[in-house]
Structure 1
Amino acid sequence: MGFLVYKFHPFSFNSLQLKTSNVLKFPHVQSTMGIFYRYHFLMCAAFCTAMQAQKTWTPSNPRQSNLLVWRSAITNSAKFDEKNGNIDDTFYKIWEQDSRTLDAMVRSYCINGRHEDALSLFYRSVYCSRRFRLSHQAFASLLKSCAAISAFELGKSFHGYGIKLGYELNQAISKGLMNMYAKCGTLDDCHLLFDQMDRSDPVTWNILLSGYAGSRHHDLEAMDLFYAMHVCEEEPKPNTVTIAIILPVCARSRDLLLGKSIHGYVIKSGFELSTLVGNSLVSMYAKCWSLHDAYVTFRRIAYKDVVSWNAIIAGYAENNLHHDSFELFRQMLAGPNEPNYATIVNVLPVCALLGHNDAYLFGKEIHCYVFRRSELLVDVSVCNALLSFYSRIGRLKEADSIFHRMKSRDLVSWNALIAGYASNGGLQKALELFHELQLREAVEPDSITLISIIPVCAQLRDLQEGQKIHEYVLRHPDLCKDTAVGNALVSFYAKCNDIAAAVRTFLTIPRRDLISWNTMLDAYAECGYAIQHVNLLHQMFKEGIKPDSITILAILRVFANVFCEEKVKEVHGYTVRAALLLNDLELTVGNMIIDAYAKCGNMEYALKIFESLLGKRNVVTGNVIISGYANCQSKENAEIIFKKMSERDLTTWNLMLRVYAENGCPDQAFILLKELQAQGMRPDVVSVMNLLPACAHLASVDLVRQCHGYMLRACLEDVRLNGALLDVYAKCGSINCAYKLFKSCHQKDLVMFTAIIGGYAMHGMGEEALGIFSQMLQLGIKLDHVILTAVLSACSHAGLVDEGLKLFETIDKVHGIKPTMEHYACVVDLLARAGRLIDAYSFVNRIPVEANANIWGTLLGACRIHHEVELGRVVADRLFDIEAGNIGNYVLMSNIYAADARWDGVKEVRTLMKNRDLKKPAGCSWIEVGSRRNIFVAGDFSHPQRVVIFNTLSTLNQQIRETF
């Protein structure tokens, strides 16, 4: 490629004024000239500027003149390089014989932030060839580059290289070395150089102070150094830069008193007019939660710049005054200072917290503003802020569009989009993006990425994918040391029910914080390991970790689930002593305490806590106390709380539906359902499941069909709901509907198989029940004690004695399940129904545990059917001891005597009932005709059609006698 020759008229320089802004005004320069011509056009402008500076001097050597002009052009070109051109290796090739040209190139690279290029140029031109020696200024520039990219080892090599060449004696080099060590965090080396230098220069003090201030671990050293400057007479006094360095230390330590003291020094020293100092004071006051002082200081800044506005906007945002922060942004737009990338990055998170509708509208306005400012649109941090904003408000389509339009993406871009999908239900998409990041990008996932993706694996219960991520963590030592990543892995394993892996991961976390302990305690609570939970809690106290509100919530959940009221009282006492009921989570902890007492059956204490939260209650508080009353079957108290609640959600209505359905008030349950729908709410899966017991109580197939129809119309697909619906169909006598529903379900779980087998058992269809049971075994579904009870019951009702006994033998030997009392009762019923009462009695005596009332009651009922009076008397005596207050046992024994005409026995039982103050309740039955329910109670003659009914009964009785 030939060289371009630039020719200028000797009188044209005064009239030719080429500046960056003028060059940028020519669109054809940007679009059509190409990189090569733009580059030389830029250099032409720089050349002109250099010639103007040199036009009064004419050297005798033309080559010297050309070199001087080109060196000046290179230096001046640094001003143009930032947006348009670059100083590439062309100059290195052309002027490699001149060290001062290379010197200018190194400095130009550093000025424009091209630190890697500056270091590379030094390595090729100076270090490898060893033909040139850089100036002190250029060498100091290289040290700045090392500091900028935290290249400590390289900077240390430069230090040795500088000592070898005698650079260290120069103050600029020494300051550069100090700055490099300070920025790289090697403060001992920085302090050593400081001790060797002239202490009268405030710059050296500021460099060392900035090193200490740059690390939160050296706040005390920074304060001591500032104090030494302030107090010692021989030392230089703090200047505006010193104040700007030390104020962030006050902000980080939240030391408002010290910050105000420094503000006093600022006023005395006359630094109040400094914009740099004013900006630092605003930021300090905001971070110390003194927004009034921050705003007053902001108003007093005489010459506000964009940093001033950024400081006050960020301050209000950090103190959760989002509307005020956004209003300040609006004021900034109306003034002379244009927002920069930092302003946009600060204000977009504020928009995301303004409320969904406002957030989207304001965010769109900011997006349009960024679009009009092309220099902001290409800034990666601004694009990341927009991406994060749209993700946080759930606008994933816009977020995805921005992501794919970005010309350059960094890890923050990927993290923002992954987190957006993860927090808005796009779990599979988040996982796909994570895999794409690993395949396509040169950067590797960091702790932020993993903290977003590990919970995704937990929600998907994808143990295999989570284990792969764990393996990735183990291959990266920095991630292994990250406490947040370890906490996420512990939570993941707990949610995947791998408690052993959760414990192992917890023990490998090097620096366990309170969140680590809370995560592990919550894992034990989630999996129901109460003893391990208590042991871990004791260990936590031994290590000096104090519980917070989150810890208390996990503890209460465990003790409530094991119904340990005394432990709940201890935890309640601790929360009062530790003032944990006085923080932001007061209501959450209070609600949990109410729930714990309610689950333990102590509604008196639960009500006291409920009343103590007067004025602070929310809808959850009311729901918790209603749930407690529902568990205690206290319908009246639940109604009182429900009527007093000013705010109700769907959970509140569902709880009351459950209260009515479970307390024998099916009619009120359906009336409440109509009220729920009148409020504009739509019943969900829980609503329908709570109504189904009411349908079963009424034995109304029509109501069950209505519930089923609503479920289909509302697309309420739920396996548990299908199982409950199937069970109610069977209980209401519609076994065909139950079987049709069973066949139509694609996903069949253990509950559905149990329900259909139980339904067949109820209807005496043993063969069909065993057929379904065989299908279940072929599918490999793991059995539990409930379904085995249902199958045994089916054998009993169908008279399949041999099949039932064979199944009972396999319960422990084949299926590995210890027989329960229900299983023993089914075998007794199986034998008794077949008339083998002696075998049944013998089986009861062989049971390894003491038989309960259910087993003896089953045997007593069989004695009545088969007229076994003597055996019945023996069984009844045992029952009267176990259940002295059960009137049904006495009535059953009285009927056995009466059937055998043993009237003295009847008299004896009735006398016993009288002595024990037991009365037989009136019998009740009902029938549904044309969606109308007719109820009949013994001794009640109030039915309007009683004459027709009694005449029909009399006719039926006569026909029965004639038949037999």
Structure 2
Amino acid sequence: MLQGQKVVLSLYRPSTTSFCGRALPSCHSLQSCRRDALHLLDEMPPPDFRTCNERIRYCTSNHDHQASLALFRWMLGARLRPDSFALAAVIKSATASLLVTGQPEAVHGFALKAGYAAFAAVQKTIIDMYARFGALGDSCRVFGEMDKRDSVAWNVLLTGYIRAGLHKDAMSLFCSMHACGVEEVKPTAITFAVILPLISKLNLLKNGQNVHGYAIKLGLEAGTLVGNALVSMYAKCDSVVDDAHKVFSLISSKDVVSWNSLIAGCSQCGLFAEAFKLFSQMVSTDLLPNETTIVSILPICAFMEDGWHSGKEFHCYILRHGLDMDLSVWNALLMHYSKVGHMERAECIFSRLDMPDLVTWNSMIAGYATNGWISKALDLFQLLLFSGIKPDSVTLVSVLPLCAQHHDLNGGKKIHGYVFRHNLLCQETSLENTIVDLYGKCGKLEDALQTFKSIKKKDIVSWNTMLSAYVDNERVEKFVNLLNQMNHQGIQPDCITILTVLRATILYGIRKVREAHAYSFRCGFVSHTNVGNAILDAYAKCGSTEDAQRTFSNLTGKNVITGNTMISGYLKNGCLDSAKMVFRQMFEKDNTTWNLMVKVYAHSDRRDLAFVLFHHLQSEGMRPDSLSIMSILPACACLASPHLVRQCHGYVIRNYLYDTHLEGALLDSYAKCGSIIDAYKLFQTSPSRDLVTFTAMVGGYAMHGLADEAIRVFSDMLEANVKPDHVIMTALLSACGHAGLTDEGWRLFKSMIQLHDIRPTMEHYACMVDLLARRGRLREAYEFILNLPCEANANVWGTLLGACKIHKEVEIGRLVADKLFHIEAENIGNYVVMSNIYAADGRWEGVEQVRRLMKEKDLKKPAGCSWLEVGLKRHVFVAGDLSHPQRTIIYGTLITLDKLMKESLKSTSI
């Protein structure tokens, strides 16, 4: 009847505009319509309580809770009595609408006064209402007062316990329901759908198998609802291959949830190929994947070969089938593109979202951070704060490591202050651990320790993080004290603790490494592959390849990382032949294995083998990654071949291998090959310039003697709020030295300590000596070295000796040479330079004395070598070698040029 009234009213509702192109009726006609409508309403019989009861139940079942409650209020005003089922529906609507927050007792009291409290339907809704408002004691009391408890009542109470997080009580209640033995209380499909997710959450596989057996006895295992819950339970308990697949095959009527459960389980267990196969089978059926399917399958694309291509196909599928209305799908796409390093597409998706949620922001920030776009990640975090969305622990855990990586202590402290002002964040142990790590990496150990002590619920990660902070800062005594404190409190170390201990023992030497090895063996940690690999690495770093080889031979469960660690250790200690042997014996090789060998050849005199290995890597069906390109680039630079560098650059672009360190390596290689223009073009097109990129560009300009350009780029970097480090300062000082900008060099040297808090190293001192010496201020440079706060090394003295040769300064040169002959007696270059200084001044007795020293030490000067690339062909020239096929033309041209230069000098002097 109510619906009929609405229809009548809608028919006679006047409009203020034209309707379907027709003119509106006159004012007289409208008044006539109103009179007719009122006449019809007067003639309608009033709605009875049965109609209202049915309407209330209908509204509640269709989740129109506001309409259900409004109709109930109207019934009370009209003094119409609802029946027990209608009252049960009203209580359900009130609970769903949160209209009884804080006063569920009032609803219960109304039911008692109205005489409905003994009705089973009302009692069940009251049990559910109390449970939803955290009053499980009242739920149990009402449950106990029921005369006849059926399965629905048990299911309602069971759901309340699970929702409240009382997992043990929920399991006990389920056991009581099972042991009841009453026919009406037998578990239903709903019961299994409620209890099985709890079992999977607690990872109780044995209990899940028992419940599965009970479901088989009741004949419910083939039902869609129970079957889906069983598949999901087995998948989350890591029993996909056997149990989940078997249950899935027995489901009589599979729906989308069935397929999604198995696909998600395969994805969770790392069975990516199987998940893709299931997805293909699902598409081949009449069922179409939904948003949940896409969210389950997209994350694994990044781990598959050509995963970025698969992600694009899923993106097209989403658009074709209209699945782009769900924000979770966009979030999954955004995370996929971030994982495959395609941040441009991720940015495009993010910019098109009208209402991004916190998951969206977190995914984008984490994507920037993972792909090395540090400054963009921090900028996006600032935008998040301005947007009004409050960051959560996931956001801050993504941002804090960036502050640690940038040594941005002020930014980290601001985030710590934000956490301190929000009590819920202070309770997040993982977030507090990240703050400890930040302070540790920034060298603020007192702040790290204070934060560590303030953690209320310390876990093993908390202890490991603080221990790691001490090791990173080489505070070994404090590390030992904290480790003893951890033992006294009965906290059992894990693999990460042992790995940290091994890092600490490297600072002590080989003896402590052996002790840590023995301790790991006694505790049973050596069987863990990562610990065994760390022991190998520790022995190698202490120079004991024998211990490393012995450990390597005795290790069980070797993997690719074990072989890589051994190769890396041999290479660090100059054992190239042993590294080759391990490389040949490895049955399985990954990109790291090949990269290690390519890198060692690229830095040796066998650069041709580096290219051979690089091609062999690809012939084995492997795709070079960022490290592969960075490993081969030094060989390209040593050959001074811009063509090879461009080939590497093209490969990087085609395969989306964006990485700031790789970009810096490419830029540096272009510069070393003499192509500073290509280097600057790459610098200009960089989407995210950070310290690595700026350093490479400054170094390139310095290499080419373009000091003004180097200083300009450095100024741009400071304006971009990028903090300099000791490497870029070395490049700047070198550029000033080559360009003769003495005053500018001194200004930059002083700004290191005063403005940038950088302690000068020997490289900086060598640059300052070169800066002074190139301007002929040799005495000042010599006194500068003598007044250094530490003993100068061979590099510093060698710089001054070279300047003495240029300026023909014998006395200072002799003093410097004596220092060098003592520091590095086997370096023939120093003897040759000093001999040339004596010869230029006509001091032949000095020349004879230096040559006598060289003969006594059996030092021989190696033949000079140079090369250049012409028309993609490399030409090598060695002193005294006449094997080049065009030697006649080349040397004839050189003689002609030599004569022209001499004639030019004569004419200039006249």
Q: Which residue of 2 aligns with 1:812?
A: 750
Aligned residues of 1:869 and 1:897 also touching (Cα < 8 A): yes
Q: Which residue of 2 aligns with 1:622?
A: 563
1:133 aligns with 2:81: yes
Deviations 1:564-592 (A, max 9, x none): 4679889878866776666xxx4455545
- For 2:2 and 2:902, how far apart are their aligned partners in 1? 127
Is the alpha carbon distance of 1:366 and 1:689 closer, same or farther for their aligned partners in structure 2, counting shifts above 3 Å? closer
How far off is 1:635 after superposition?
Answer: 1.9
**2:264 paired residue among 336, 349, 356:** 349
How far off is 1:659 after superposition?
Answer: 0.8
- For 2:203 and 2:745, how far apart are their aligned partners in 1? 74
Is the alpha carbon distance of 1:879 and 1:418 closer, same or farther for their aligned partners in structure 2, counting shifts above 3 Å? closer
Is the alpha carbon distance of 1:595 and 1:695 closer, same or farther for their aligned partners in structure 2, counting shifts above 3 Å? same
- For 1:96 and 1:415, how far apart are their aligned partners in 2? 53
Amino acid at match of 2:282: I
1:189 aligns with 2:189: no
Bigger CA drift: 498-507 or 184-193? 498-507
- For 2:349 and 2:667, how far apart are their aligned partners in 1? 41
Q: Which residue of 2 aligns with 1:305?
A: 223
Deviations 1:706-760 (A, max 9, x none): 444454477478776676567667767xx4x445654676348434443443433
- For 2:201 and 2:727, how far apart are their aligned partners in 1? 65
Secondary structure of 1:808's aligned partner = helix
Is the alpha carbon distance of 1:403 and 1:347 closer, same or farther for their aligned partners in structure 2, counting shifts above 3 Å? farther
Q: State how many pairs are aligned.
A: 796
Aligned residues of 2:230 and 2:247 also touching (Cα < 8 A): no
Aligned residues of 2:197 and 2:229 also touching (Cα < 8 A): no
Q: Which residue of 2 aligns with 1:750?
A: 694
- For 2:203 and 2:787, how far apart are their aligned partners in 1? 78
Q: Which residue of 2 aligns with 1:854?
A: 795
Amino acid at match of 1:857: G
Deviations 1:633-664 (A, max 9, x none): 43223212211121223332222121122233
Secondary structure of 2:857's aligned partner = coil
Structure 1 residues 460-499: aligned runs within 5 Å: 461-470=376-385, 484=394, 487-488=397-398, 490=400, 498-499=411-412
Q: Which residue of 2 aligns with 1:63?
A: none
How far off is 1:121 after superposition?
Answer: 1.7
1:545 aligns with 2:450: no
Aligned residues of 1:247 and 1:284 also touching (Cα < 8 A): no
Amino acid at match of 1:306: T
Secondary structure of 1:500's aligned partner = helix
1:657 aligns with 2:598: yes
* Percent pairwise identity: 30
Is the alpha carbon distance of 1:724 and 1:387 closer, same or farther for their aligned partners in structure 2, counting shifts above 3 Å? closer
**1:388 paired residue among 282, 295, 308:** 295
Aligned residues of 2:626 and 2:662 also touching (Cα < 8 A): yes
Q: Which residue of 1 aligns with 2:107?
A: 158
- For 1:503 and 1:670, how far apart are their aligned partners in 2? 49
Aligned residues of 2:419 and 2:426 also touching (Cα < 8 A): no
How far off is 1:331 after superposition?
Answer: 3.5
Structure 1 residues 81-96: aligned runs within 5 Å: 96=46
Aligned residues of 1:230 and 1:238 also touching (Cα < 8 A): no
Q: Which residue of 1 aligns with 2:306?
A: none
Amino acid at match of 1:391: L
1:102 aligns with 2:52: yes
Structure 1 residues 34-433: aligned runs within 5 Å: 96-110=46-60, 115-126=65-76, 129-146=77-94, 152-153=100-101, 155-168=104-117, 173-174=122-123, 176-193=125-142, 197=145, 206=154, 209-210=157-158, 213-215=161-163, 217-221=165-169, 241=185, 287-289=204-206, 300-302=217-219, 304-324=222-242, 327-328=245-246, 331-332=249-250, 337-340=252-255, 342-350=257-265, 359-360=275-276, 362-367=278-283, 369-371=285-287, 383-392=290-299, 393=301, 394-395=310-311, 398=314, 402=318, 419=335, 423=339, 427=343
How far off is 1:186 after superposition?
Answer: 1.2
Secondary structure of 1:933's aligned partner = strand
Secondary structure of 1:924's aligned partner = coil
How far off is 1:395 after superposition?
Answer: 4.2
How far off is 1:597 after superposition?
Answer: 5.7
Deviations 1:793-822 (A, max 9, x none): 556556x4xx32453244315984665544
Is the alpha carbon distance of 1:370 and 1:450 closer, same or farther for their aligned partners in structure 2, counting shifts above 3 Å? farther
- For 2:562 and 2:652, how far apart are their aligned partners in 1? 29
Q: Which residue of 2 aligns with 1:79?
A: none
Amino acid at match of 1:159: H
Deviations 1:89-121 (A, max 9, x none): x99996644223323433454566655443332
Secondary structure of 2:166's aligned partner = helix
Amino acid at match of 2:859: K
**1:500 paired residue among 393, 413, 435:** 413
Secondary structure of 2:567's aligned partner = helix
- For 1:408 and 1:752, how far apart are their aligned partners in 2? 42
Deviations 1:919-940 (A, max 9, x none): 3134322355974535458xxx
Secondary structure of 1:338's aligned partner = coil
- For 1:225 and 1:99, how far apart are their aligned partners in 2? 39
Amino acid at match of 2:73: Y
Structure 1 residues 509-658: aligned runs within 5 Å: 509-510=424-425, 512=427, 515-516=430-431, 519-520=434-435, 529=443, 531=445, 535=449, 539=453, 544-547=458-461, 564=507, 586-588=528-530, 590-591=532-533, 594-595=536-537, 598=540, 603=545, 607=549, 610-618=552-560, 620-658=561-599
- For 1:826 and 1:490, how far apart are their aligned partners in 2? 35
Give the superposed CA RMSD.
Answer: 5.5
Q: Which residue of 1 aligns with 2:617?
A: 676
Amino acid at match of 1:750: F
Amino acid at match of 1:500: K
- For 1:351 and 1:329, how far apart are their aligned partners in 2? 14
Structure 1 residues 920-959: aligned runs within 5 Å: 920-928=859-867, 931=874, 933-936=876-879
- For 1:865 and 1:112, how far apart are their aligned partners in 2? 94
Is the alpha carbon distance of 1:501 and 1:414 closer, same or farther for their aligned partners in structure 2, counting shifts above 3 Å? same
- For 1:169 and 1:797, how far apart are their aligned partners in 2? 97
Amino acid at match of 2:382: Q
Amino acid at match of 2:566: I
Secondary structure of 2:599's aligned partner = helix
Amino acid at match of 1:636: D
Secondary structure of 1:462's aligned partner = helix
Amino acid at match of 1:288: L
1:455 aligns with 2:366: yes
Bigger CA drift: 864-873 or 558-567? 558-567
How far off is 1:598 after superposition?
Answer: 4.8
Amino acid at match of 1:675: H
Aligned residues of 1:399 and 1:417 also touching (Cα < 8 A): yes
Amino acid at match of 1:210: L
How far off is 1:157 after superposition?
Answer: 3.2
**TM-score using structure 1 length:** 0.66
How far off is 1:122 after superposition?
Answer: 0.7
Deviations 1:325-382 (A, max 9, x none): 675477446xxx32345434424425757966664454244245455xxxxx7xxxx7
How far off is 1:560 after superposition?
Answer: 5.6
- For 2:131 and 2:736, how far apart are their aligned partners in 1? 84
- For 1:466 and 1:793, how far apart are their aligned partners in 2? 37
- For 2:666 and 2:361, how far apart are their aligned partners in 1? 42
Bigger CA drift: 314-323 or 393-402? 393-402
How far off is 1:305 after superposition?
Answer: 2.9
- For 1:135 and 1:646, how far apart are their aligned partners in 2? 77
